[in-house]
């Protein structure tokens, strides 16, 4: 078996004055693999994902190891950013500068790539077309606020792909979008998977997104990675009680109209101790 593209070993992250946001996490991603990271809000998903390209705030303390292409990069992850690793966020507005056009920014994103500004602009337009933005040449002249949320997220994905990263990380890429837009972005990721050979990490609290897109999934609960496996196994044979509860609460899996949405009760939470599944 080839060695993984990314290997996270015993990663612990805490914020000054806070409890540990991530505890001894292990996670691997191989080339060509789409991996999901799921868990409810506050479980540590963004903290873990942001540590990979070195995007944690200065108050975060990090222990453990991150290896990229077999080389330890712990403490030096930012060197991989914008080149080997690209990240897409929940709010695509944060990816863009409001006073520059989309096209100008897509040229800037290619600063480490060879080519004239003209070539880069052409590449930007081609990429906007590829992520499904109609009239890409015209759209490149738009400012971020002139695009709809869904179009902005497509443009952010185009920006990420322009650097041809080995690893694409998307943190809740569909959460800010309505259901129709979400379906379109999921569809886009599925298409991209076909000809993008890198690894993909999709962070989401929405299990449906994982089911649609991922090969494998890691489940986080209160800072711990509590379960890991092929998506089919996790959906059909969840081992950890928290995963079972998460599945039971996913609106996409509730078969009939009900008057209430199931939630995880505090009593149920009390059973999610490590002893209960290890």
Ligand X SMILES: Nc1ncnc2c1ncn2[C@@H]1O[C@H](COP(=O)(O)OP(=O)(O)O)[C@@H](O)[C@H]1O
Shortest CB 51 distance to Mg ion, Å: 13
57 binds, among ligand X, Mg ion, none (CB under 5 to 8 A by kind): ligand X
Among 5, 6, 7, 21, binds ligand X (CB under 6 A): 21
The minimum distance between CB 242 and ligand X, in angstroms, equals 13
Are 167 and 82 contacting, i.e. CB atoms less than 8 angstroms apart? no
> Cβ closer to Mg ion: 162 or 177?
177
Q: State which residue, 20 or 142, has the beta carbon closest to Mg ion.
A: 20
The whole-angstrom separation of Cα 195 and Cα 86 is 17
Whichever of 18 and 145 has its CB closer to ligand X, that residue is: 18
CA atoms within 13 A on the CB side of 204: 26
As given in the structure block, the two tokens for residue 17 are 């004055």
List the single partner that 21 binds among Mg ion, ligand X, none, CB under 5 to 8 Å by kind: ligand X
Instruction: Tell me the closest approach of the beta carbon of residue 112 to ligand X, in angstroms.
Output: 28
- Select from ligand X, Mg ion, none the partner in contact with residue 235, using the beta carbon and a kind-dependent cut-off of 5 to 8 Å: none
Residues in region 43-82 near ligand X by CB under 6 A: 43-47, 57, 59
Q: Nearest-CB residue to Mg ion?
A: 46
> Contacts with Mg ion: how many residues (CB under 5 A)?
1
Sheet containing 60-68: which strands, arranged edge to edge?
20-29, 6-15, 60-68, 71-72
46 interacts with Mg ion by CB under 5 A: yes
Task: Between 61 and 237, name the residue whose CB sits nearer to ligand X.
Answer: 61
**Residue 31 backbone dihedrals phi, psi, to 5 degrees:** -60, 135
Nearest approach, Cβ of residue 169 and Mg ion (Å): 12
Indicate the residue among 47 and 184 with the shorter CB distance to ligand X: 47
Region near Mg ion per CB under 5 A, out of 45-53, 92-100, 142-150, 210-218: 45-53
CA 269, distance to chain mean position in Å, is 26
CA distance 184 to 247: 23
Following CA atoms 260, 262, 267, 273 in sequence, which dihedral angle do they give, to the nearest 10 degrees? -170
| DSSP letter, residue 81 | B
Q: Which residue has the tokens 């030096």?
A: 76
- What is the contact mask toward ligand X in residues 24 to 43, using x (rule: CB under 6 A)? ---------------x-xxx
Give 121 or 218: the residue with its C-beta nearer to ligand X: 218
Size of the site for ligand X (CB under 6 A): 13
Element (H, E) at 180: helix 179-195
Whose CA is closest to 157, among 194, 137, 121, 129? 129
What per-residue string of b and e applies to 196-231 under the rule 16 or more CB within 10 Å gives b? bebbbbbbbbbbbbbbbbbbbbbbbbbbbbbbbbeb
- Please give the residue ranges that form the binding site for ligand X (CB under 6 A): 15, 18, 21, 39, 41-47, 57, 59
Residues that bind Mg ion (CB under 5 A): 46
């Amino acid at each position: 078996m080839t060695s993984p593209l990314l290997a996270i070993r015993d990663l612990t992250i805490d914020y000054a004055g806070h409890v540990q946001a991530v505890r001894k996490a292990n996670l691997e991603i191989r080339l060509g693999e789409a991996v999901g990271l799921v868990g409810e809000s506050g479980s540590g998903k963004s903290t873990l994902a942001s540590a990979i390209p070195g995007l944690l705030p200065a108050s975060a303390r990090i222990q453990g190891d991150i290896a990229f292409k077999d080389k330890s990069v712990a403490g030096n992850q930012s060197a991989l950013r914008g080149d080997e690793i690209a990240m897409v966020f929940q709010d695509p507005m944060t990816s863009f500068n409001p006073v520059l056009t989309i096209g100008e920014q897509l040229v800037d994103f290619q600063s480490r790539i060879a080519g004239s500004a003209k070539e880069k602009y052409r590449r930007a337009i081609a990429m906007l077309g590829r992520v499904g933005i109609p009239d890409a040449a015209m759209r490149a002249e738009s400012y971020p606020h002139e695009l709809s949320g869904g179009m902005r997220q497509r443009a952010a994905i185009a920006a990420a792909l322009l650097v041809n990263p080995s690893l694409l990380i998307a943190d809740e890429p569909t959460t800010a979008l309505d259901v129709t837009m979400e379906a379109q972005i999921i569809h886009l990721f599925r298409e991209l998977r076909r000809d993008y050979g890198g690894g993909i990490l999709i962070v989401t609290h929405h299990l449906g997104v994982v089911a649609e897109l991922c090969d494998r999934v890691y489940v986080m609960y209160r800072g711990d990675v509590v379960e890991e496996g092929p998506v089919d196994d996790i959906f059909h044979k969840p081992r950890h009680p928290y995963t079972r509860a998460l599945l039971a609460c996913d609106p996409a899996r509730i078969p009939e109209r009900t008057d209430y949405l199931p939630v995880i009760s505090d009593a149920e939470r009390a059973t999610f101790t490590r002893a209960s599944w290890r």
